[in-house]
């Protein structure tokens, strides 16, 4: 397995697909990287030469923010919103949907398991 940006990318898949295993690289960026380095789209990772792997690592290090740096930046952006106490920050802090989704019947992923309301017991005569 080739190790790029701290991630083991699969050898038997095409370079275009394998690059997507890196956090911050999607289909568009993967295609742009392959085009920039002149790597054919149908080439597989185990067919890459050492020189191509080195150029790939250098390109990702210099031109793209990926993995730890990107995760840290996203976390800092969320923390900044929470510190400002803006609406989006409050939603993050409470663990509720941030982007205006409905919460009356849905949002179980963000809200967690439904808890029954403990009410009064019925008195029977």
| Predicted confidence (pLDDT) per residue in 31-79, tens digit | 999 999 999 988 999 999 999 999 999 999 999 999 889 999 999 999 9
Is residue 43 within 8 Å of residue 2, measured between CB atoms? no
* pTM reported for the whole predicted model: 0.76
Looking at the fold, whether 50 and 83 belong to one and the same domain comes out as no
Looking at the fold, whether 25 and 50 belong to one and the same domain comes out as yes
* Whole-angstrom distance, CA of residue 114 vs CA of residue 121: 20
Q: Give the CATH number of the domain where residue 75 resides.
A: 4.10.910.10
pLDDT band (50, 70, 90) for residue 3: confident
Total tally of structural domains belonging to the chain: 2
Domain containing 30: what range?
2-63
| List of residues 6+ apart from 35 with CB closer than 8 A | none
Is residue 78 within 8 Å of residue 92, measured between CB atoms? yes
- How many Cβ atoms are within 10 Å of 18's Cβ, its own excluded? 24
């Amino acid at each position: 397995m080739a190790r790029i940006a701290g991630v083991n990318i699969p050898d038997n898949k095409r370079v275009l697909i394998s690059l997507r295993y890196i956090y911050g690289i999607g289909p568009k960026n993967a295609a742009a990287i392959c085009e920039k380095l002149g790597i054919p789209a149908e080439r597989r990772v185990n067919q890459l030469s050492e020189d191509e792997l080195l150029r790939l690592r250098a390109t990702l290090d210099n031109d793209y923010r990926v993995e730890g740096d990107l995760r840290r930046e996203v976390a800092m952006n969320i923390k900044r919103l929470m510190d400002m106490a803006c609406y989006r920050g409050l939603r993050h802090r409470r663990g509720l949907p941030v982007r205006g989704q409905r919460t009356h019947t849905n949002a179980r992923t963000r809200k967690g398991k439904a808890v029954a309301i403990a009410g009064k017991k019925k008195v029977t005569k």
